[in-house]
Every structure is written in structure tokens, then in C-alpha cells.
Amino acid sequence: MKMQITENLDVDVDARVWSCHHCGAALGAAEANYKESCLVAARDPEEIWQPHVREEVTFSYHRDWCRIVEFYCPGCGWLIEVEVLPPGHPITHDIELDLDGLREPQKGAH
């Protein structure tokens, strides 16, 4: 049984795997961080926000302080998620589903 969990991610509750909502490419075990099965790029903020002056502040963010980490579907190149992190900071495991609970309809509803 496949469920859409975010705009870009499905989870197959029986096979317990993540997949891309747009092309179906497998994105690893559902217990793991789907980001580990994406292609990953850490981009300079100036690639996203145009700098207008070369001063202490530029209208963009500062590459010494942060990178824009992008996670792409390896199948279709869809931008699955974006994370803002200082250079070298651990990646966030943002969704860890109770997979057994997903198999039960509306557990806890009353």
C-alpha cells in the first residue's frame, strides 16, 4: 500500500520503502532518512539570491555562514527538499514514520 507523505515523497507501507512521488524512483528504506538516497548538492546562497552590492551585507546570505543543501530525486531530478545548514552541519532526519502504525487505520482516533 502506497501513501503520499509529502508533496514529493511516497512510502510503500508493505515494502517499507520511500519513493519519489513524481517518477516512482526508490529512495531507500522507509526506516532510514530518504535524503541518503537522493543526490545532494550544497549550494552557495548567491546562486539562489542575487547579491546587489559588495558590502558586509549583500542582499544575499553569507556562504561562510550557511549553504543551501538541495536533495534531488536521482530518477527525475525533482527538488525533493531544501535544507539550510551551516557548512558541515549534520543533515536532519526530518521524517521517521511509525510504519507499523501506518498499517492500522486511524490509530488513536476517537
Q: What residues contact residue 43 under an 8 Å CB cut-off, 6+ apart? A: 67, 68, 69, 70
- If one asks whether residue 16 binds other proteins (CB under 8 A), the answer comes out as no
Among 1, 14, 90, 105, binds other proteins (CB under 8 A): 90
User: CA nearest 67: which of 89, 52, 97, 51?
Assistant: 89
| C-beta separation of 40 from 88 below 8 A | no
Q: Residue 109 carries which side chain, given as an amino acid letter? A: A
Residue 54 C-beta: closest distance to other proteins, Å:
9
- If one asks whether residue 29 binds other proteins (CB under 8 A), the answer comes out as no
Q: Restricting to residues 51-80, which ones interact with other proteins according to CB under 8 A? A: 52-53, 55-62, 64-66, 68, 70-72, 74, 76-80
- If one asks whether residue 25 binds other proteins (CB under 8 A), the answer comes out as no
